[in-house]
Amino acid sequence: MSTATTVPWGQLTIARQFHWRVGRIELKPRPVGRPETARDINGRGVPPFSRPLREVGTVARELPLSRYNTPMIHEILPVGPLQCNCSIIGDEGTHEAMVIDPGDDIEDVQAVIRKHNLQVKQIVITHAHIDHVGGAMKLRAATGAPILLNQNDYALLKMLDVQAAWIGMPSPGRVDIDRSVTTGETVAAGSHTASILHTPGHTEGSICLYFPAEQKLIAGDTLFAGSIGRTDLPGGSMQKILHSLHDTVLALPDETVVVPGHGPLTTIGEERESNPFLVKR
């Protein structure tokens, strides 16, 4: 699959396919064949009138950003040919940080780390697809931070060369995991603590990270704006992903801001009301 694809590798669609640009000021449809290039989705330092927007077709809607005006540093970089949303989360007081899904473009990730003078304490992978884990070893070498992944996806790590062939990119080589994480555990960047939610379905080991104080969910490829994770790849299960979504993800407050693995932000309430895979009929 080339960068000209119109649908993220992890995303399941139904009828229409939309093109997205994740941007600091606004979101606009992008021409087919042009990769998204935006940076800093959280809008830090952006005047109130230029907050990030979510655009579906030609109708733009503002997303709530009040939870971003906190001591949490959160920058999101769409990285690699499949534009995986890599999150850099830090504490403005302690400067401790975590990086979630460093799939590629590690030089750009390190530039954000240096900009905020952060010390990366852990690298968290939401699932073992190459676009989310491909740059993890390079980042570990640069920071010394351990790599965390749910053990149910260890088998997928042994298929990274196969995954690379699927999308026509070089294999990142071997990825070593330092610790498995699952439901009931937490990870932290200074004072910002996230609960691990094991949400199998896109892959057996898919996880989400929920920051209750900030009401923010890093969803990996489990939930998208208007869609859910695809289930036709190894380890995927439609039954399991719907169970994860209805029993775990949709149990979160409606105002929870969702950062999907690809594409624009959304909220739990918005997806509960309008996501065609989740609306009860």
Helix (H, G, I), strand (E, B) or coil at 114: helix
d(CA 29, CA 46): 21
pLDDT attached to residue 44: 30
pLDDT attached to residue 51: 27
Cβ–Cβ under 8 Å, residues 267 and 255:
yes
Low-confidence ranges of the chain (pLDDT < 70): 1-9, 12-70, 281
d(CA 242, CA 235): 14
Helices 106-115 & 136-143, crossing angle to 10 degrees? 40
Give the H or E element holding residue 75.
Answer: strand 72-79
pLDDT attached to residue 8: 57
β-pairing verdict for 207-211 and 216-220: antiparallel
pTM: 0.79
Dihedral sign for Cα atoms in the order 270, 274, 276, 281: positive
Give the length of the chain: 281
- Please state the separation of Cα 153 from the chain's center in Å: 16
- Please state the separation of Cα 258 from the chain's center in Å: 9
Helix (H, G, I), strand (E, B) or coil at 139: helix
pLDDT in tens, 35-64: 333 333 333 332 222 223 232 222 223 334
Dihedral sign for Cα atoms in the order 104, 110, 116, 117: positive
- CA diameter of the chain: 49
d(CA 269, CA 240): 21
pLDDT attached to residue 28: 31
pLDDT attached to residue 169: 87
pLDDT attached to residue 12: 61
What six digits make up the tokens of 208?
């989400």
Closest by CA to 176, choosing from 149, 198, 194, is 149
pLDDT attached to residue 75: 97
What six digits make up the tokens of 155?
């088998």
Cβ–Cβ under 8 Å, residues 153 and 160:
no
Q: What share of the chain is helix, strand, coil (3-state, %, to 5)?
A: 20, 25, 50
pLDDT attached to residue 9: 59
Is 174 exposed, middle or buried (CB count within 10 Å of its CB: 0-12, 13-18, 19+)? exposed
Is 186 exposed, middle or buried (CB count within 10 Å of its CB: 0-12, 13-18, 19+)? exposed
- Taking phi first (over 0 means left), then psi (-120 to 50 degrees means alpha), and beta for anything else, what does residue 106 get? alpha
What six digits make up the tokens of 30?
């992008």
